[in-house]
Structure 1
Amino acid sequence: SPKSAILTAADPGFRESLSRWSSIDLNVPDVVVQPISEADVVTTIQEAVAAKVPFVPACGGHSLWSTIENGLIIDLSRYKGIATDTSQHTVTIKGGVVMKELQLALAQASQFTTVGNGNTVGIIPYCVGGGISSYTPLIGYACENIVSARVVVVEVSSARNTDLLWAIRGAGQVFGLVTEIVMRTYDLSSMGNSGVRQLGMLTYPSSRAMEVCEVLAKVISGSDRPSAGHFMIVQGSSKEHVCNVAPQFFGTRPEFQRAFQPLADLEPDSNMDMPSTFDVHSDHLYSMCLKGDFKRFSQIGLAVLHPENFGSLVKLHKELLETCPGAEKSVFSLEWHTPTPDKGARENPTSFGLKGVDIWLNILTWYTDSGLHDKVQEFERKACEIMRSDIIPEAYVTYTNTSRDEPIENRYKDPGAVNRLKELKRRWDPTGVFNRNFL
C-alpha cells in the first residue's frame, strides 16, 4: 500500500532502520520493507519467495537474527496495533508492538500479562519464543498465555489449526512470520497489593558472593509468596566488583521486608526498596536497551543455586573485566522465579516445555571492541561450563529466544515434542523459507 515504505541505501531513513540493540554480525541488506498492514506483510513475503530473495523479520531490533546481507528485512515497526477486551480478559497485539507500548495500554485498562524486562523488545517474538517473565510465578510463561495467533495468512486457535497453535506457543519463530497474537490478560488487582509490586536492591562486595548465595537459596525455597529476581555480578558505580540481589515481590512492603530479612541481616553495603506498577515495569532498566556496541544475551536453565559454582562465576566475571577493556557493562546473573501454580495458563499445551525450570543463568556481555568477539565468546562458554558443572549434558537446558546456536535437544527437552515439531515444519515450511530449524 502507499503508506508502506521500501528503503534502499539511497534513502535517508535506510541507515537508521538498520540500527540494532547489538552490532554483532550487523549486516546491510539490499532492501528494508516497512509494511503498514498484514496484507503488505503477506505481499512482501510472497514476492520475496517468488523471486528467491532471502528475508528476515525485525521487530524491536534486539534479536541477533534480525539482520541479513544480500536480502531484505521486513521491519514491522510501522505496523502496530493493540486492542484490549476486558470483558474477555484478552488483548490483541499486532506487528511490531514493543513491551512498553503493551504495558501502557494494559495498565490503562487495569490489566496485566506476561512481559519481559526490556521496554523496546518486540512483544510477539518474545511471546512465541517462550516468554520468561517476572510474572511467571503468577501466570506462567508468555507462550502459555497465547490464546490465538495469525501467521501470515494462517489463523490458529483452539478451534482452527490447533497443532500449529501448539507449535507457536514456544517455537513460533520457526514456522513463519507471526503477525498477530491474542493473549490472556488479568486484573491488576489479582496481582495483590492493588497491583503494586515491590522492587529491592541489596549490594554486597563480590567477595561475599557464596555467603549471600547460600542465604538467598534458603529464602527462595522457603518462601510462601510469589517472587522473582536477579542475583547479579556487576561492576559498581565506583568500579568496585559487587553482587546485587534484586528481588521483585508481589505483596506489601512489610511483607517484602519480612520475606527478605535474612538478606538484610547480612548487612549489605546498601539496601533499598521501592514500589513499582505495571506501566513502568522495566523503566529502571532503560540503559540496558540502548542501541549499539557489541552485546549478546543468552540464558541457560539450572536446577538449583550452587554457592560454589556462583563463587567461580564471580571470579570469571572479574577476569572478563580485567582482560577485556570496554566490557565493564557486562553482567552475569542468576534469575529466579518461585514455582508457578499448575492451573490456569499453565494448563495450556505448549511446545516450549520448560515448565519446571525456575532458575536461569543470564549472561549479558557488552563491549566496544570488535576485536574481542572471540575472547568474549570464550568467557560466555566458560560461564555456562561453570554453572553446568554438576549437570549431565543430556539435561542441559537453553532458552531458545536468546540462544539458537545450541542443539535443538537443549532448547526443547521432550523428544516427542521435537519429533512433532519436525513433522509440523515439514508440513508448514518444508523448504525452510523462514529458517532451517527442525528440517
Structure 2
Amino acid sequence: MRNATRHAPAVTGLALLAVLALTGCTTSSAGAADEDAGPVGVPEGVVELPDQEWFPTDDTTTLGSSDEEIPSDDEIPQKLHVGKVDPIGEDEVVLVGTQWGLQVVSAAVDPATGEVTANLTTGPGIWDAVLHPFVGKTSDDPVILAQEVWRPRGSRGAADFTISTYSGTMLEPDEIEMPKYTRAHSRWGSSVVTDDGKYFAFWDDALYGLRVFDLAKGKETGALPALGCGPFTWSSGHRIYSVCEDTRELVEYTIAKDGSISETGREEVLPDDFVSNRHASLAHEAHQALLVSANGDVFVFDFADGLPTSPVQPIGNAGQDSGRFDEAVLNTTATSLVVGYTDSAIHPDSVDGGEQVKLIVSDPATFATLATLDLASMQLASIGGFAYSVDGTTLYVTGSDADEATVIVGFDALTGAEVSRAVIDGFTDSPSRILTPQVIG
C-alpha cells in the first residue's frame, strides 16, 4: 500500500499532460478560424508593445560609454560641506528648531535681513534643548555650548550625557562626557556659563544641588548638594545664585580658583507666599535675574552687589483673565522684560495649553506696561519665539505671517514700535525659541 500510494501522482501527472496537449490543439484551431482573436501565445489582457527603435550610446550620453567628468570646485554652485562655521555676530540672534528626534537644528540669523549665517546641529537635552550661544570674532571662538543627551537605544539603552562646545568645524565639538551619576536639569535658566567663559555650572537632579565643570580643562571641579533649593543658576562673575523655596531664601554659592564650589551666604528675603517655577531668565550685563513664579508673581532680583539683604517683593503679577502667562525674558541691561500669553487659560505645559498669541513688554522696576503686542498688531499668524538683541535695545519675535512665510520682526524694547521685518531665508525647521548670544569676557 505504501508503494502504490507513492507512485499514484506520477500516473496522474502523465494523464494531465495528455489532456493539456489535446486542449491546446483545439484552442489553436479555433483561434485560427477567428479573425478577431489576439496573437497566438499572448495571454488574454496583455498588451503587446510595438518594436522600439534602439540607439547606441555615444560620448554625449550620460553614463553611457563612460562616467561623466567630476566638475571642479569652482563649477559646483554650493559647497557640500563648510569647513568652519561663521562666528555669531553682535547683531545676530539664534533660532532653535522644534525638539523632536535625536538632534536639534538651530541657526544664527541676521534679523535685519533674515539671512541665516550659520547652521548649528546639536543633541537634545532631557526636557528642553539647553543651548548657550556666544558672540564670536573668529571661527575658532566658541559658537554654542550644548547640554546634550545621546541615547543609542532610547529609554532602554545606555545614555551619554555630554557638555559640548562647538567651534570651527561643527563636526568636532570639544566634548566633555559627564559621569553616569549626573542628571543635568534641562530647563531654561537651570545652567549658566560664567561671564569669563571658564566654568559651566548647572543644577543636577541626581545630586539635588549644583555641579561645576571647568570648560578649558574638560573636567568636573566641584559639586554641592542643596536640597530644597534650585533649580536656577544665575551668575555674577564666579558667584552663583538660586532660590530655596521651602525656607524662602535667596542663596549664594562661590566658585573658587580651583573650581570647587561652596555656599557663601543666604538671606531669608522672599515673601511667605513665594512659589517657584520651571524657567527663569538672566540679564548678564546688569547682573539681575527674572523669575515669574507659578502663581504669576514677577520677581526681579539684583545680584550686582551680592545677595539682597532687604525683603524682596514682586514688582507685579503676570496673571490675566484673557490667557495664561507662558515664557518670560529679561533683556541684558534689565531695562525691559516681556511675558508671553497663550490663547487659553490652561497652563501652557498642559496638552491643550493653547498657542502664544500676545506679548506684553513691561518696565522691570515698576512692571508698568511699555507695549502690548498681539498677533494683529505684529501682523503675524503665529508666534514661534521671542528674545532681545545682544545690546538689549530690540525685542525680536519670530513666527509665520499671513502668507505662511517664516518672518522675524524687531520692536523697540522700550516703546514696542516696529523697527525691522524680514523673511527668514535658509532655516527650514519651525522656530520654537529665540536665544540671545552671550558676550564672553
Structure label with greater radius of gyration: 2
Structure with greater strand share of residues:
2
Q: TM-score, normalised by structure 2?
A: 0.29
Q: TM-score, normalised by structure 1?
A: 0.29
